[in-house]
Structure 1
Amino acid sequence: MITAPITLSLARDLLRGALDLERTEYGVLPHRLPARARAQCADGQLAMAESQPSGVRLVFRTRATTIELDTLRTKTAYEGAPPRPDGVYDLLVDGTLAGQASVTGGNVLKVDMTTGSSETVPGPVGTVRFSGLPDRVKHVEIWLPHNEVTQLVALRTDTPVEPAPEQGRKVWLHHGSSISHGSEAASPSTTWPALAASLGGVELINLGFSGSALLDPFTARALRDTPADLISVKIGINLVNLDLMRLRAFGPAVHGFLDTIREGHPTVPLLVVSPILCPIHEDTPGPGAPDFENIGEGRIRFTAMGDPAERAAGKLTLNVIRDELARIVKQRAADDANLHYLDGRDLYGHADFAELPLPDQLHPDAASHRLIGERFAASAFGPAGPFTPRS
């Protein structure tokens, strides 16, 4: 076997979907926000979310029949709850899923949701292994777990690897919340953005950050400064369930966020997506809070703690946000023909909730991720979609 330690140079050659790379004691840690952005916010939730490599994948060509990847993961464990499933690595060969595996060992981030405290228990490097692959030159992608911080340590193969040539596909840059990050998706290549990118034939850069789609200026600047052919921003649910701002601040913040993106991408198709259906917050403001009644059975449900009457004082709900986003996009589109709006309920709405309810009242399950991905692809990349070139 040929062993290649993961250096910054090798990672730059093979990794796609990351905006920054950090050299660590063990290897390389991919980041989905640049260092300047990370330095402007000390929030632990954002730090964990942006360093979980949703949409990040190793891409190369090889005729290897056996591939091994050494990584050091950091897995999250919640006090009082059963262990969470291991993160999944998806192996794609010439665009087709050819294997799935997980690693053992690694660090464990223990979180007490009742107090907000946490501690990290260190663990050893683990190895993910794929064997029995076809003995021919092939395009290989290893999608890293979307829900585990992953330090890349070494790549081993039984024949040499080389960087895969660019395929000339358009780059789709997307920003959103935990739903875009991939919460409750079955695997990294089956989060709804990954599915939509595959159906749309585009290269994905996923800036979906669990709990952290908050109209932060540093995120807008990251979007501004990242080369892209297509951009979408999914706005709303985190602002409600964190009870972060009032209507007076929301409108100007959206304008500022879009203004910043347009500084770097003045004519790129830009799609603003409002929240999917989430009944607990449709007309009830946040904050949202976990219900620990069934945590011992491995089930956490979320509930809205606000009072619908507080909307009169400017508190945000999903319906308030949808109305305001639609108004803002309509206003701006008069001078920006490449700005578009999509109601998130067209991706997941009332009929879908009846058939595929949100298991924790907040996040869609694996089947709903597929549904949302297919509908987004049809809407955005379809014949009349905003991401489809006009003749």
Structure 2
Amino acid sequence: MSTTPITTELVRGALDLERTEHGLLPHRLPARARAQCADGQLAMAEAQPSGVRLVFRTRATAVALDALRTKMAYRGAPPRPDGVYDLLVDGRLAARGSVTGGNVRTIDMGGGAAETEPGPVGTVRFTGLPDRMKDVEIWLPWNEITELVALRADAAVEPVPDRGRRVWLHHGSSISHGSNAESPSTTWPALAASRGGVELINLGLGGGALLDPFTARAMRDTPADLISVKIGINLVNADLMRLRAFGPAVHGFLDTLREGHPSTPLLVVSPVYCPIHEDTPGPCAPDFSRLSEGKLQFRATGDPAERAAGKLTLTVIRDELARIVRQRAADDPFLHYLDGRGLYGEADFAELPLPDQLHPDAVTHRRIGERFADAAFGSDGPFGAGAKPTES
């Protein structure tokens, strides 16, 4: 097998590629944004390559990717599953695999302290691929930091020409990041992108959808034909701001997006249904009461009475987002609103409850992805075929 240099032409879905001693580390926020926040949770989330994939054309029947993973572990919690690599041939899932070895970063959920135990580079191999010219995509794990070391194949590898597909730039929380999805190509944004026939840039950042100005600027400066922002749950479970600050922060975030994308279809999505925070403020805390059963859950620690003092809940946020979009849409015909309960609501929770009270499972990711695709990419949706293309 011969080695093909991993270059920017082969990597999609990342906003930055950092050269390391091992290879290339994809980032989902640019260096300037990363320099403006010292939060360890955000640093971990943006370096986990949700939506990032290698894309190339080849006749190869065998492909191997050497990678150095950094797997997360949480002290006292059940072990995290290995990250999964999805290999797609001409847009269809053909194989899955994982790498071994790698680093293990252990985090104390109580105090936040973390330590990393180093490990070796691993390899994921795919064989038995069809012996013809084809487009191959290798989707990287959404839940493991992944340094790309080497790409090897038994035939020549070349970049895929521009398919002319629209680029969808999405920002959201851990649910958009991947939460408990089965694999990287089956997170709800990846599923929706596939159904919508668009190229995905996923800025779903676990714990990091906090209306940060540097995230807005990164999105402003990223070429895109369609943009969506899913706002709410992290602001509640981090107990980060009050209602007085929330409204102006949403306006500021949207103003920044419009600086770079003045007439790009822009969809504001409110939170999906989450009973613990519907009417109870944060902060959110781990619930260890069922840890002996191997189950980590979460609980809201706020007091519903604190809403009177401006504390945020999901109900409060949905009302405010709907009001802001109505106000702005009078002068912005390309701004749209989607109530997240249409993607996952109270009836869905009764049928498919959130396993840890906060994050959906793999089946629910598929449901959310299908519903988002129908609502956004359908003929009457804001991202439908008739949506105005971006000027950027």
Tell me the TM-score normalised to structure 1 length.
0.98
CA separation in 1, counterparts of 2:78 and 2:366? 26
1:257 match: secondary structure: helix
Aligned to 1:354, what secondary structure does the other structure show? helix
2:61 is the counterpart of 1:65 = yes
Question: Which residue in the other structure is 2:263 paired with?
Answer: 267
2:78, 2:295 within 8 Å by CA — same for their partners in 1?
no
Q: In the alignment, which of 43, 46, 58 is matched to residue 47 of structure 1?
A: 43
Residue 116 of structure 1 deviates from its aligned partner by 1.6
Equivalence for 1:13:
9
Q: In 1, Cα distance between the equivalents of 2:75 and 2:216?
A: 34
Structure 1 stretches of 5 or more lacking a match?
A: none
1:122 paired to 2:118: yes
Kindly provide the amino acid, as one letter, of the partner of residue 209 in structure 2. A
The aligned residue for residue 295 of structure 2 is 299
Unaligned ranges ≥5, structure 2: 388-392
Q: Which residue of 2 aligns with 1:287?
A: 283
Contact 1:109/1:119 (8 A) holds in 2: yes
Q: Deviations over 1:355-377 (max 9, x none)?
A: 00000000000000000000000
> Would the aligned equivalents of 1:82 and 1:296 in 2 still touch at CA under 8 Å?
no
- 2:3 matched to which residue of 1? 3
Q: Answer whether contact 1:5 1:153 (CA < 8 A) is retained.
A: no
Query: 3-state DSSP class of the match of 2:344?
Result: coil
Q: Look up the equivalent residue of 1:40 and give its one-letter code.
A: Q
Higher deviation after alignment, 290-299 or 229-238: 290-299
Shift of 1:295: 2.4
1:296 positional shift: 3.9
Residue 334 of structure 1 aligns with which residue?
A: 330
Name the aligned partner's letter for residue 390 of structure 1: G
Superposition deviation, residue 78 in structure 1: 1.4
**What is the distance in 1 between the residues matched to 2:79 and 2:57?**
36
The secondary structure found in structure 1 opposite 2:229 is strand
- Counterpart-to-counterpart distance in 2, 1:13 and 1:73: 22
Matched, 1:363 2:366: no
Supply the distance in 1 between the matched residues of 2:297 and 2:207 (Cα, whole angstroms): 15
Task: Give me the whole-angstrom Cα distance separating, in 1, the residues matched to 2:384 and 2:277.
Answer: 33
Deviations 1:52-93 (A, max 9, x none): 000000000000000000000000011123321100000000
TM-superposition CA deviations, 1:30-71 (whole Å, max 9, x none): 000000000000000000000000000000000000000000
CA distance in 2 between counterparts of 1:333 and 1:389 reads 21
Q: Is the 8 A contact 1:81 1:296 kept in 2?
A: no
Contact 2:379 2:386 in 1 (8 A): no
Structure 1, residues 196-220: CA drift from partner, whole Å, max 9, x if none? Answer: 0000000000000000000000000
Counterpart-to-counterpart distance in 1, 2:168 and 2:3: 33
For 1:289 and 1:83, locate their aligned partners in 2 and report how far apart those are by CA, in whole Å.
Answer: 19
The 1-side partners of 2:249 and 2:51 are apart by 27
Which digits, 9 at most, give the CA deviation of each residue in 1:138-197, with x for residues without a partner? Answer: 000000000000000001100110001111000000000000000100000000000000
Q: Which residue of 2 aligns with 1:254?
A: 250
Matched, 1:164 2:166: no
Question: What's 2:225 paired with?
Answer: 229
Q: Specify whether residues 81 and 297 from structure 1 end up closer, same or farther in structure 2 by C-alpha distance, changes over 3 A only.
A: farther
Report how many residues are paired. 387
Match of 2:390 in 1: none
The letter of the residue matching 2:255 is: D
Q: Indicate yes or no: 2:200 matched with 1:195.
A: no
Q: AA paired with 2:260?
A: G
User: RMSD between aligned alpha carbons?
Assistant: 0.9
- 1:139 matched to 2:122: no
TM-score by length of 2: 0.98
Asked if 2 retains the 8 angstrom alpha-carbon contact of 1:80 and 1:296, the reply is no
In 2: Cα distance, 1:388 partner to 1:158 partner: 40
- The amino acid of 2:70's aligned partner reads T
Amino acid at match of 2:197: G
Distance in 2 (CA, whole Å) between partners of 1:5 and 1:382 is: 39
Supply the distance in 1 between the matched residues of 2:5 and 2:63 (Cα, whole angstroms): 14
Structure 2 Cα separation of the partners of residues 155 and 248 of structure 1: 50
Percent identity of equivalent pairs: 79
Secondary structure in 2 matching 1:13? helix
Cα deviation, residue 5, structure 1: 4.6
Distance 2:198 2:328 in 1: 27
What is the rounded CA distance, in whole Å, between the counterparts of 2:226 and 2:173 in structure 1? 18
Q: What amino acid is the match of 1:2?
A: S
Cα distance in 2 for residues equivalent to 1:296 and 1:221: 44
Does 2:76 correspond to 1:76? no
Q: CA contact under 8 A between 1:82 and 1:297: conserved in structure 2?
A: no
Counterparts of 2:149 and 2:385, CA distance in 1? 41
CA contact (8 A) 2:78 2:296 kept: no
Asked if 1:150 is matched to 2:146, the reply is yes
Is the partner of 2:33 in helix, strand or coil? helix
8 Å Cα contact 1:30/1:53 also seen in 2: yes
Distance 2:292 2:52 in 1: 33
Question: Structure 1 runs of 4+ off > 3 angstroms?
Answer: none
Matched, 1:386 2:386: no
